[in-house]
Amino acid sequence: MDFRLSDDQRALRRGVRDLLDGRFGREALRAAVDREGRLDRKLWRELGDAGFFALRLPEDDGGAGLGLSEAALVFEEAGRALLPGPLVATHLAAGFVPGAADGTLIVTAVSELDCLVQHFDDAGTVVAFASDGTPHAVDASEAVAVRSLDPLTPLHRLPRPCAPEAPGQLPLGAAVLLTAAEQLGSAARSTEEAVRHAKGRVQFGRPIGGFQAVGHLCAEMLVRTEVARAAVYAAAVRGDLTEIAGAKLLADEAAVRGAKDCLQVFGGMGFTWESEVHLHLKRALLRARMWLTTAQAEEIQAQALASEF
Amino acid sequence: MDLAYTAAEEEFRARLRDWLADALPTLPPPPPAGDWPARRAYDSDWQRRLYDAGYGNVHRDASPTLRLIFLEETEKAGAPYVGANFVGLLHAGPTIAAEGTPEQRERWLGPILRGEAIWCQGFSEPEAGSDLASLRTKAVRDGDAYVVTGQKIWTSHAEVADWCELLVRTDPGAPRHRGITWLAMPMDAPGVTVRPLRTLAGSAEFAEVFLDEVRVPAANRVGEENDGWRVTMVTLSFERGTAFAGEVVACRRTLDEVAARARANGRWDDPVLRRGLGRLHAEFTALWRLVQWNVSEAAAIGGVPGTGGSVFKLRYSQARQELYDAAAEVLGPGALDLSVPWTRERLSSLSYTIAAGTSQIQRNILAERVLGLPKGR
Ligand SMILES: Cc1cc2nc3c(=O)[nH]c(=O)nc-3n(C[C@H](O)[C@H](O)[C@H](O)COP(=O)(O)OP(=O)(O)OC[C@H]3O[C@@H](n4cnc5c(N)ncnc54)[C@H](O)[C@@H]3O)c2cc1C
């Protein structure tokens, strides 16, 4: 057992971080907000070229032949950078839907719980995933625009029933896990931003990070992030559905509460449209309802307890 | 990220599991709660059995991973808790192994591992709790011994201990962190007086220890004179980092039992309660993964756990309290009945956010040492 990242995994993470720093830094983030979440197709292609979507496909099929652990690291970086788009859906569609793997086609999915579709106007196709991971095309001709909470994620709603009826269908492990990884990245970023601000902002003649009330908020953000990290990474390694659901539960909490605490540390600045804080919070709230909700995750955990005797 | 164990590690696990299956049914019934001499005898006997079966050395020579497997399997099997051996096996012993001389290791580790010597921790004082570095118990060098005078408090198992890992001030003139020394003090030395204190759980598990010109041989010093603060950090990192690892597994067992009870008495049908138990399942699973993470890091840097211990300690202490609060919900009126073990455990769990450094102190450590924020006020 050596739970630490391997050298290759570290290099992968660094590579993705560098790519996103260069191609989707603060300026690009603002521009994306100004475009009301419409996607940058050129960037999407570049993500495809970098292997974002084909990562887990076999090398013979043009993929990188990597596993869920590596994908989790990549999606953690995406979450950190607030990279917009139906990244998880397109990643899962790679290998099934032509064009998804190399980023020429944007694939979005309908969320069965809410019948919501992200990035409908930019997507080339709308799918629903069966629990074995196979995507099925969905008729989205009656999609109606919703005023999305998240400025970076345009939403449409489909009339019910919006996906092939599948009562008792298991959640899609990989989708849940990669979304949890994005939440982890967001939580880590909120923690860093709060700490950076707390070191620089001076009130009462000293940096506000020197006030315990602020320092302890930051410490709790760190704890939630690191507990979620252990959960997400282990779930990625094991691929066990119960563990994945537990990781999503903890990562959702780390991301949502982390963004709220970050807002608190930023004070009035945190409440502005200008700051990045609300973007993390809104996206975290959105992801928390995607693929697996808190209630569902807790019931899966309870079920696991019940099945142990 | 590799969570797989090697063939040798799995073999160790399988052998241990077989041995436990045979050994546990032969144990005598555990002593009544609060009877410390009987507890000591029971815990020592268990440690002796482990030693005779070849598992004594797990705490000395084994890799951090093997030690983790040992804790996992013994807890899973429901083996006796380390109990009176907590300090010796889980933090004084590891400190001596890391910082002691070969003679000191030879002298003290063997008896700890054979269940012959019980250790206690004499760190806290009436005026030095969270602010441990302000400790005043003084030690004056006199020939080949230190003469120690002062008072310790909250010393767990002091009543039944043979040895005490003792922090003393050897240089009152130096800056406070530079005048401290780590000593191993025999508890039967003349001048040591132990006065038990009653805890809110009703038991006398900790005590005040009065020291009146106690002579401690200089050969009992671990680390250099006035370098005791550094040694203390090693002790605390074991205490916070790995000492509670096995308890996470024990909590998972308890959670299973709480869920089974809830199903039996119908409380399971309450979705708020059921989901709360579900959340605890995720919590303890994640805490176990965090332990594996910390152990992997510790193994890579040579055995001493890092500040990840504070992350773990903060979250674990809180989760343990939530577990027994949930158990109380399931018990209903049993939550008011002290003859129910979970009710007593619920009271004991309250110490977890205080002992081994309070939650506030852990947050200070994270804020200042990990996040690099200015010192708090
Ligand atoms: C069951 C139990 C067993 C124990 N066993 C041992 C043992 O075997 N050996 C041993 O040496 N000690 C032992 N202790 C002592 C334990 O380590 C101390 O109780 C602990 O470090 C806190 O010190 P204190 O009790 O003096 O509280 P204080 O330090 O007086 O703290 C009181 C309150 O003030 C807060 N506080 C203090 N300083 C700060 C700060 N800088 N920032 C924010 N908040 C602060 C604390 O968090 C706490 O809430 C044990 C304690 C318990 C409860």
At A308 the pLDDT is 59
Give yes or no: residues A138 and A183 share one domain. no
What is the H or E stretch that residue A78 is in?
A: helix A68-81
Whether residues A183 and A263 share a domain: the answer is yes
Dist. CA B122 → ligand 1 center (Å): 13
Catalytic, out of B165, B239, B247, B283: B239
Task: State how far the Cα of B161 lies from the Cα of B58, in Å rounded to an integer.
Answer: 22
Whether residues A57 and A12 fall in one domain: yes
Q: Which residues of A touch B272 (CB under 8 A)?
A: none
How many angstroms away from the CA of B361 is the closest CA of chain A? 10
The residue whose two tokens read 């807790």 is: A298
**pLDDT value of position A309:** 46
Among A130, A157, A184, identify where a domain stops: A157
Per-residue pLDDT of chain B (377 residues; tens, 9 = 90+): 999 999 999 999 999 999 999 999 999 999 987 788 999 999 999 999 999 999 988 877 788 899 899 999 999 999 998 889 999 998 999 999 999 999 999 999 999 999 999 999 999 999 999 999 999 999 999 999 999 999 999 999 999 999 999 999 999 999 999 999 999 999 999 999 999 999 998 888 899 999 999 999 999 999 999 999 999 998 888 887 777 888 999 999 999 999 999 999 999 999 999 999 999 999 999 999 999 999 999 888 876 667 788 999 999 999 999 999 999 999 999 999 999 999 999 999 999 999 999 999 999 999 999 999 998 76
Which residue's CA lies nearest to atom 24 of ligand 1?
A: B129
The number of CA neighbours under 13 Å toward the Cβ of B143 is 3
- For residue A214, the chain B residues in CB contact (below 8 A) are 373
Last residue of one domain, picked from the residues A157, A188, A206: A157
Q: What angle do CA B74, B79, B82 make, to 5 degrees?
A: 85
* CA B307 to centroid of ligand 1, rounded, Å: 19
Task: Report d(CA A19, CA B224) in Å as an integer.
Answer: 50
Q: Is the CB of B123 under 6 A from ligand 1?
A: yes
Sequence length of chain A is 309
Q: How far is the CA of B351 from the centre of ligand 1 (A)?
A: 10
The pair of three-digit structure tokens given for residue A27, joined into one six-digit string: 């300026």
Domains of chain B with CATH codes: 7-118 (1.10.540), 120-225 (2.40.110.10), 244-369 (1.20.140.10)
CB–CB contact A306 B299 (8 Å): no
Looking at residue A270, what DSSP letter applies? G
Residue A182 lies in a domain: yes
Active site residue B239: yes
Rounded to two decimals, what is the model's pTM? 0.95
* Last-in-domain residue among A132, A157, A182: A157
CB B185, CB B121: distance < 8 Å = no
Predicted pLDDT of residue A166: 60
CB B211 within 8 A of CB B151: yes
Contact predicate B90/B239, CB 8 Å:
yes
- Tell me, yes or no, whether A32 and A149 share the same domain: yes
Which residues, at least 6 apart from B156, have a Cβ–Cβ distance to it below 8 Å?
A: B86, B87, B120, B121, B205, B206, B355
Asked if A140 and A76 sit in the same domain, the reply is yes
Residues A68 and A111 in one domain: yes
**Cβ-count burial B186-217 (b if 16+ within 10 Å, e if not):** bbeeeebebeeeebebebbbbbbbbbeebbbe
Does A183 lie in the same domain as A109? no
Tell me: do A19 and A152 sit in the same domain: yes
Q: Is the CB of B88 under 6 A from ligand 1?
A: no
CB pairs under 8 A between A and B: 179
B135: its two tokens:
């400790």
Asked whether residue A163 is domain-assigned, the answer is no
Structure tokens at A227: 């507990």
Q: Which atom of ligand 1 is nearest to the CA of B364?
A: 42
CATH code of residue A146 = 1.10.540.10
Report CB contact under 8 Å: A299, B311.
Answer: no
Ligand 1 centroid–CA B355 distance in Å is 6
Of B274, B281, B290, the CB nearest to A230: B290
Q: How far apart are CA A106 and CA A153, in angstroms?
A: 14
Distance, in Å, from the CA atom of B292 to the CA atom of B295, rounded to the nearest integer, reads 5
* A118 dihedral zone (left: phi>0; alpha: psi -120 to 50; beta): beta
Contacts with A209 from chain B: Cβ below 8 Å: 367, 371, 373-374
Tell me, what's the pLDDT at B304? Answer: 67
Helices in A148-269 by DSSP H: which ranges?
173-200, 212-238, 241-266
Set of chain B residues whose Cβ sits within 8 Å of the Cβ of A199: 372-374
Does residue A90 sit within a domain?
yes
Q: Is B83 in the pocket of ligand 1 (CB under 6 A)?
A: no
CA–CA separation, A123 vs A108, rounded Å? 6
Is residue A244 domain-resident?
yes
Same domain? For A89 and A153 the reply is: yes
What was the pLDDT predicted at B142? 97
Would you give per-residue pLDDT tens digits along chain A (309 residues)? 999 999 999 999 999 999 999 999 999 999 999 999 999 999 999 999 999 999 999 999 889 999 999 999 999 999 999 999 999 999 999 999 999 999 999 999 998 888 999 999 999 999 999 888 999 999 999 999 999 999 999 999 999 888 765 655 677 999 999 999 999 999 999 999 999 999 999 999 999 999 999 999 999 999 999 999 999 999 999 999 999 999 999 999 999 999 999 999 999 999 999 999 999 999 999 999 999 999 999 999 999 997 754
Q: Is the distance from the beta carbon of residue B154 to the nearest atom of ligand 1 less than 6 Å?
A: yes
Rounded to an integer, what distance in angstroms lies between the CA atom of residue B168 and that of residue B138?
Answer: 5
Is there a contact between A221 and A230 (Cβ–Cβ < 8 Å)? no
- Within a domain: residue A86? yes
Query: Are A191 and A258 spatial neighbours (Cβ–Cβ below 8 Å)?
Result: yes
Atom of ligand 1 at shortest range from CA of B122: 11
For B187-223, the pLDDT digits (tens) are 999 999 999 999 998 888 899 999 999 999 999 999 9
Residue numbers in A near B318 (CB within 8 A): none
| Distance between CA atoms of residues A300 and A297, nearest Å | 5
Same domain, A209 and A144: no
Q: Cβ(B360) to ligand 1 under 6 A? A: yes
**A295 and A253 co-located in one domain:** yes
Print the SS3 string covering chain B.
CECCCCHHHHHHHHHHHHHHHHHHHHCCCCCCCCCHHHHHHHHHHHHHHHHHCCCHHHHCCCCHHHHHHHHHHHHHCCCCCCHHHHHHHHHHHHHHHHHCCHHHHHHHHHHHHCCCCCEEEECCECCECCCHHHCCCEEEEECCEEEEEEEEEEEECHHHCCEEEEEEECCCCCCHHHCEEEEEEECCCCCEEEEEECCCCCCCCEEEEEEEEEEEEHHHEECCCCCHHHHHHHHHHHHHHCCCHHHHHHHHHHHHHHHHHHHHHCHHHCHHHHHHHHHHHHHHHHHHHHHHHHHHHHHHCCCCCCCHHHHHHHHHHHHHHHHHHHHHHHHHHHHHCCCCHHHHHHHHHHHHHCCCCCHHHHHHHHHHHHCCCCCCC
- The values of phi and psi at residue A38, to 5°, are -65, 140
Of the candidates B234, B226, B127, B105, the one whose C-alpha atom is nearest the C-alpha of residue B177 is B226
User: What span, in angstroms and rounded, lies between the C-alpha atoms of B311 and A226?
Assistant: 8
The answer to whether the peptide bond before residue B172 is cis (omega within 30 degrees of 0) is no
Q: Give the minimum alpha-carbon distance from A218 to chain B in angstroms, rounded to a whole number.
A: 7
Interface test with A, best of B1, B3, B359 (most A CBs within 10 A): B1
Q: Least CB-CB distance to A249: which of B9, B279, B360?
A: B279
B321 lines ligand 1 (CB under 6 A): no
The pLDDT assigned to A306 comes to 76
Cα distance between the two ends of chain A: 28
**In 3D, which of B207, B195, B218 has the Cα closest to residue B147?**
B218
Q: Is residue A29 part of a domain?
A: yes
Is A165 contained in some domain? no
Evaluate: CB of B133 within 6 angstroms of ligand 1.
no
Q: Domain span at residue A102?
A: 7-157
Do residues A134 and A15 share a domain?
yes
Count of structural domains within chain A:
2
* Overall residue count recorded for chain B in this entry: 377
Q: Please indicate, yes or no, if residue A133 is contained in any of the structural domains.
A: yes
The CATH number of whichever domain residue A272 belongs to comes to 1.20.140.10
Residue A169 DSSP symbol: P
